[in-house]
Amino acid sequence: MAELPPHPSIATVRSFLDAMEAGDVEKARGHVSRHARFILPGGGSTASLDDIVRFVGQRYRTLTKRIERFDRVEMDGDDIVFCTGTLTGAWEDGAPFEGVRFVDRFVIRGGVIVLHEIWNDADEARSRRPAPPASSGDRAVLAMASEINRLRDRLGNLERLLAAKGILSQVEIEAHGIDDAETIPEDDPLGQVGDFLGVSDDDTHR
């Protein structure tokens, strides 16, 4: 049994979607009323197909609609066409995705589209995607930052020890919050400074 041709309103929607996916805005415009409105994901609206092209370009590097089905109902003399399926492609940074659900609702009046409303799960899918693995350069920067923080902590301890031995000025002692009573035993000539720097008494006499 031969398959019946799609309803004219569904054919109009399909031709419009195919033209937009191919980047043929002029062909797509032939299926749209001059007074049509487009409601984008998030609730923004526009009357311009060029705005839709820019919107898609800012969110995706590539985008394809895998259409699963069309549904049509009549309402107040208009045809309402629902197109459902999934999105596949790549985000603006090139990371691939697939299986993102979408629903497009079209109002067809006089054979042309007067309203196109778009819903999809792109924001949810984007928020769930794993973070990209750190590059060798990123890992090197993180390791350097960790080492700098470690040395900064050790330097702070060294300054406190030097201040306690009276090597820093009284102003620096006050600036570092050193208690004047904080001392290092005199019978330890190198003291904790030597331990901190990793040298011994023998090293000082060479």
Domains and CATH numbers, the chain: 8-128 (3.10.450.50), 136-201 (no CATH)
CB 182 within 8 A of CB 164: yes
Higher local confidence (pLDDT), 136 or 44: 44
Interatomic CA distance for residues 132 and 90, integer angstroms = 14
Task: List Cα–Cα distances, 8 to 16, 87, 110, in angstroms.
Answer: 12, 24, 11
Give the lowest-confidence range in 1-10, 140-149, 188-197. Answer: 188-197
Higher pLDDT, 91 or 140: 91
**Separation between Cα atoms, residue 164 and residue 181, nearest integer Å:** 8
Q: Render pLDDT for 153-163 as a digit per residue (tens, 0 to 9).
A: 777 777 776 66
Query: pLDDT tens digits for 48-75?
Result: 999 999 999 999 999 999 999 999 999 9
Return the residue matching tokens 């904790």. 192
pLDDT of res. 57: 94
pLDDT of res. 204: 46
The DSSP bridge pattern shows strands 45-46 and 32-39 to be antiparallel
The mean per-residue pLDDT over the stretch 20-24 comes to 95
The mean pLDDT value for 132-140 works out to 65
Above pLDDT 70, what percent of the chain? 71
What's the confidence (pLDDT) of residue 27? 97
Matching residue, tokens 């020890």: 161
Residue 150 has pLDDT above 60, yes or no: yes
Whole-angstrom distance, CA of residue 180 vs CA of residue 183: 8
Assign 15 to helix, strand or coil.
helix
pLDDT at residue 54, rounded to an integer: 95
The pLDDT of residue 114 is above 90: yes
**Mean pLDDT value across the chain:** 82
Confidence of residue 190 (pLDDT cuts 50, 70, 90): very low
